């Protein structure tokens, strides 16, 4: 979608937002929904016609009750019954209108929310690393909730009120003269001006309150997601204090907002009641000089009361629509966030022929002034393994992200079976690659669901086979709920080794020809690491494997090892060849060997 206009001659942001939203409300490919909108509009006209007739029926009934009209009592009773029927008809048609239109509003809300959610998943890793989950979800929640209420007020309050105002002024013109028409229009103008002015002021207070509300939710979600960290550093009081500080600011803004609402309501009531008093005084005077009947007095009172009823809501309607436009604009801003990594036009599906991976003179930087990789080249023949080692910050994990095409390279090429990954469909590329990451994050679902996530539509037999391949089936079978066991938020109910085995099973189920092991055992103890390594070795058989490792003892059997230093390939070769070079790799090996001896000594002493 095009970005919001920002030029001096461009329409207002509110109109731009509404123009972008209209295709969701009036979908080209759904004539049934369009028919519902037309029917709802027809019901609005019928409802207004019925409601305006109430004043005439009520006035006519009162006129038949005047002295000397006793013989017309039956007609008066019939008019009273008709008046009651008109009141019921107004309610009936209004609710029929709501029932007919509800599907339209919900469909528009659903399609827009799905589009935003889908776009969020298309955005690059750069966006998701910088976002606050709570803030983004709040923007989507407010934006989708505003759609239904905003549509209701636009179509079923403002539009009917405008129709009613036209009808009332026409009636006043023909029956009571130009003076009452002018007074009514003047009242509406003053009322609308006052409502808009105060509501604009309130909108600023509301925007401040919304920002503080978003900050409050973001603060609470961030704190709860880092529950363990809070506990580790005994920071509960600190978190509560920070949350309390944000909540106090929100409460102060909310008080100002509610006080401004009181001022708005009092001012609106003053304007409408001055108008009602003047109009009633005018018609009573007309009755006293014989110009109007008692029924005319009742007619004016009824029509104005009906007109004031939606006008009394004008402040809330204006505020709701204005806030709805703000909330929808924030949601459209998410849609307007550019997708950094996109498929080339007509990009073909990746044609797998074995799984050779090649980096050709690849350079990459997350920020222009902070290069990560500089001219990195290597080839992993199909079915062989390559280990990537080096100090922290050397760019090891960046290589995995580039292969998955979470980012595009700054310079050079990444090829899979001779195909530049920038020129093939992203989905097919990622389908060909599996990963066992260092930090396995699981969905707050069952173990079976998390393993089954590796391949859409996998049956229970396939899930269990993958679990056996990852040597976790026996553990799952020993649980009371077996594969229906809940793993908790981010899988925190499982140990590190169990989470890694679930990740391995998930990758086995995916069965990719290319496998990335991104420091998959670095966070585990020595015994668990040895068990997981044995499982990973079986998983890597006959697959092109990239092993990103911190512990050099886990990569001795790799076909090739490259050592990254400052974003460049400093050394390459087999384990034995690199030791013989007596360079950076040999230095790292010696240091880790010393650390391992120290750890064993500590364990023996313990």
Per-residue pLDDT at 444: 81
DSSP result, 548-574: E-S-GGG-TT-SEEEEEETTEEEEEE-
Which span out of 39-48, 111-120, 354-363, 442-451 was modeled with the highest average pLDDT? 354-363
Residue 574: how many other CB atoms lie within 10 Å: 15
Mean pLDDT of 581-592: 82
Q: Mind listing the domains of the chain with CATH numbers?
A: 13-336 (1.20.1560.10), 357-605 (3.40.50.300)
pLDDT digits (tens, 9 = 90+) for 273-305: 888 888 878 888 887 887 877 777 777 777 787
CA dihedral 72, 74, 77, 82 (to 10 degrees): -100
Interval 380-384 mean pLDDT: 86
Predicted TM-score (pTM) of this structure: 0.59
State the pLDDT at residue 604: 44
**What is the SS3 string spanning 458-483?**
CCHHHHHHHHHHCCCHHHHHCCCCHH
Give the model's pLDDT for residue 5.
41
Cα 62 from Cα 294, distance rounded (Å): 7
**Higher local confidence (pLDDT), 169 or 232:** 169
Strands of the 514-518 sheet, one edge to the other: 433-436, 514-518, 544-548, 385-389, 560-565, 568-573
Q: How far apart are CA 452 and CA 506, in angstroms?
A: 6
CA 199, 205, 209, 212 dihedral sign is: positive
Rg of the chain, C-alpha, whole Å? 36
User: Which of 21-25, 419-423, 435-439, 524-528 comes out lowest in average pLDDT?
Assistant: 524-528
Structure tokens that stand for 243 in this block = 């949350």
The percent of residues in the chain predicted with pLDDT above 70, rounded, is: 77
Backbone angles phi, psi at 350, to 5 degrees: -60, 125
Question: Does residue 67 or residue 219 have the better pLDDT?
Answer: 219
Are the CB atoms for 181 and 169 separated by under 8 Å? yes
User: How much is the pLDDT for 10?
Assistant: 46
* pLDDT for the residue numbered 2: 37
Helix or strand holding residue 412 (H, E): strand 411-416
Q: How many percent of the chain have pLDDT more than 90?
A: 0
Q: What is the pLDDT of residue 125?
A: 61
């Amino acid at each position: 979608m095009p970005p919001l206009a920002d030029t001096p001659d461009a329409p207002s942001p509110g109109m731009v937002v509404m123009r972008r939203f209209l295709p969701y409300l009036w979908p080209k490919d759904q004539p049934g929904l369009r028919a519902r909108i037309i029917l709802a509009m027809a019901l609005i006209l019928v409802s207004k016609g019925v409601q305006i007739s109430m004043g005439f029926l009520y006035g006519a009934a009162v006129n038949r009750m005047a002295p000397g009209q006793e013989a017309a009592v039956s007609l008066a009773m019939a008019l009273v019954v008709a008046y009651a029927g008109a009141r019921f008809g107004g309610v009936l048609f209004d609710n029929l209108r709501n029932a007919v239109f509800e599907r339209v509003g919900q469909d528009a809300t659903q399609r827009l929310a799905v589009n935003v959610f889908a776009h969020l998943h298309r955005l690059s890793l750069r966006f998701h690393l910088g976002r606050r989950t709570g803030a983004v979800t709040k923007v989507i929640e407010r934006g989708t909730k505003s759609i239904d209420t905003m549509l209701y007020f636009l179509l079923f309050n403002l539009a009917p009120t405008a129709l009613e105002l036209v009808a009332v002024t026409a009636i006043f013109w023909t029956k009571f003269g130009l003076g009452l028409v002018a007074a009514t229009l003047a009242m509406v103008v003053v009322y609308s001006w006052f409502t808009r002015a105060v509501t604009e002021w309130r909108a600023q207070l509301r925007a401040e309150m919304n920002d503080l509300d978003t900050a409050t939710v973001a603060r609470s979600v961030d704190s709860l997601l880092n529950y363990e960290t809070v506990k580790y550093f005994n920071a509960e009081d600190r978190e509560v204090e920070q949350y309390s500080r944000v909540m106090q600011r929100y409460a102060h803004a909310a008080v100002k907002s509610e006080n401004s609402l009181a001022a708005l309501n009092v001012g609106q009531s003053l304007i409408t009641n001055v108008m009602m008093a003047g109009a009633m005084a005018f018609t009573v005077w007309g009755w006293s000089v014989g110009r109007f009947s008692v029924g005319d007095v009742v007619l004016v009172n009824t029509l104005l009361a009906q007109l004031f009823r939606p006008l009394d809501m004008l402040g809330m309607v204006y505020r709701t629509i204005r806030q709805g436009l703000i909330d929808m604009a924030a949601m459209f801003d998410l849609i307007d966030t550019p997708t950094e990594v996109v498929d080339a036009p007509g990009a073909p599906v990746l044609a797998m022929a074995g799984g050779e991976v090649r980096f050709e003179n690849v350079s990459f930087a997350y920020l222009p002034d902070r290069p990560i990789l500089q001219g990195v080249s290597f080839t992993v023949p199909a079915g062989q393994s390559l280990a990537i080692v080096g100090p922290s910050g050397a760019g090891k994990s960046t290589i995995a992200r580039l292969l998955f095409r979470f980012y595009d390279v700054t310079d050079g090429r990444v090829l899979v079976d001779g195909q530049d990954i920038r020129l093939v469909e992203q989905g097919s590329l990622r389908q060909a690659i599996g990963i066992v990451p260092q930090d396995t994050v699981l969905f707050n679902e069952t173990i079976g669901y998390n393993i089954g996530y590796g391949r859409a539509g996998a049956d229970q037999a396939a899930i269990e086979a993958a679990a056996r391949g990852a040597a976790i089936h026996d553990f799952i079978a020993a649980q009371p709920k077996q594969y229906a066991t809940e793993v908790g938020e981010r899988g925190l109910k499982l140990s590190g080794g169990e989470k890694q085995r679930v990740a391995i099973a998930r990758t086995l189920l995916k069965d990719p020809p290319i496998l990335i092991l991104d420091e998959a055992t670095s966070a585990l103890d020595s015994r668990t690491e040895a068990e997981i390594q044995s499982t990973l070795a079986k998983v890597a058989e006959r697959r092109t494997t990239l092993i990103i490792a911190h512990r050099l003892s886990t990569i001795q059997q790799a076909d090739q090892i490259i050592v990254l230093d400052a974003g460049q390939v400093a050394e390459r070769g087999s384990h034995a060849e690199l030791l013989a070079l007596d360079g950076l790799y040999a230095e790292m090996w010696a240091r880790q060997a010393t650390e391992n001896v120290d750890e064993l000594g500590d364990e023996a002493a313990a």
